[in-house]
Homo-oligomer: A and B are copies of this chain.
Amino acid sequence: MSSPTPKQVLFAHFAAVAKTIGNAHRIDLLQQLAQGEQSVETLARKTGLTVANTSQHLQHLRRAGLVAARRDGTFIYYRLADDAVLDVLAALRRVAERNLAEVEQVVRGYFDNRDAMEPVTREELARRLKTGDVTILDVRPEDEFALAHVPGAINVPLKELEARTAEIDPMKDIIAYCRGAYCVYSYEAVAKLRAKGFRIRRLEDGLPEWKAAGLPVESASKEN
């Protein structure tokens, strides 16, 4: 048996990367990291995995070149190694949505029927950012808001929405966003606030897609 050709070597590497993504927990971890870098402990809590298991999955992702890490004291923070990782996930989602009946069904049943919620395009939001005539509501957890958010957004995590509606100007239109596709937070925020008479819609996707489009973001530590 001859030695493998360059093509075979490369396909084996690509297969290894794909196989690494071929685990729902690791996809969840990558989607969490799309919001910004986070520690192992934080990632474990958000995904519901044990710390040991989270760590093992992160090693796997790191060996595959999908994430990178830095140590800060006893904490180790992981981040996406390359924003192009999100392109892989988006491409996978697109193929699955178009070609797997079960996926289409779940998406239609849970997400699309809620699009009586009239998703707002990124372009439209970018335009309204300039005119300042809209409240931008980020319903993600505070730590993710701190990492990065749409400039001028206010942060009311979904869990606190009922308790904090007084903070939201009822005279202005509202656009809510969260982590991205399949994050139910913005759907639920729209439902809750519409029930109280607010004029609210949701952004078509999430913060990572906004950033990938080159649109401006702010974070708690610096402006850009």
A65 in the interface, Cβ–Cβ < 8 Å? yes
A49 an interface residue at 8 Å Cβ cutoff? no
Residues of B within 8 A of A17 (CB): 22, 92, 95-96, 100
B residues less than 8 Å from A82 (CB atoms): 95, 98-99
**Cβ-defined contact, A6 with B106, below 8 A:** yes
Residue of B nearest to A183 (CB): B7
> Assembly of this chain: how many copies?
2
Query: Is the pair B92, A10 in contact by a Cβ cutoff of 8 Å?
Result: no
A88 at the interface (CB under 8 A from B): yes
A8: Cβ under 8 A from any B Cβ: yes
Residue contact A13 to B96, C-beta cutoff 8 Å: yes
Residues facing B in A81-103 (CB within 8 A) are: 81-82, 84-85, 87-96, 98-100, 102-103
Instruction: With A92-B88, A95-B85 as known contacts, state yes or no: A111 contacts B24, CB within 8 Å.
Output: no
* Contact indicator B10/A106 (Cβ below 8 Å): yes
* CB interface residues, A 22-72, toward B, < 8 Å: 22-24, 26-28, 31, 64-66
Interface size on A, residues (CB 8 A): 54
Please indicate the chain B residues that have their CB under 8 angstroms from the CB of A75 in the complex: none
Would A14 and B65 be within 8 Å (CB), given that A6-B110, A19-B22, A24-B8 are in contact?
no
A16 adjacent to chain B (CB < 8 Å)? yes
Q: Are A24 and B15 in contact (CB under 8 A)?
A: yes
A193 to B40, CA, bound (A): 56
Q: Which residue of B lies closest to A68 (CB)?
A: B99
> Given A6-B110, A11-B28, 19 more contacts at CB 8 Å?
A6-B184, A8-B24, A10-B93, A10-B96, A10-B107, A11-B24, A11-B27, A13-B96, A14-B92, A15-B27, A18-B27, A18-B92, A19-B19, A20-B22, A65-B95, A65-B99, A85-B95, A87-B94, A88-B88
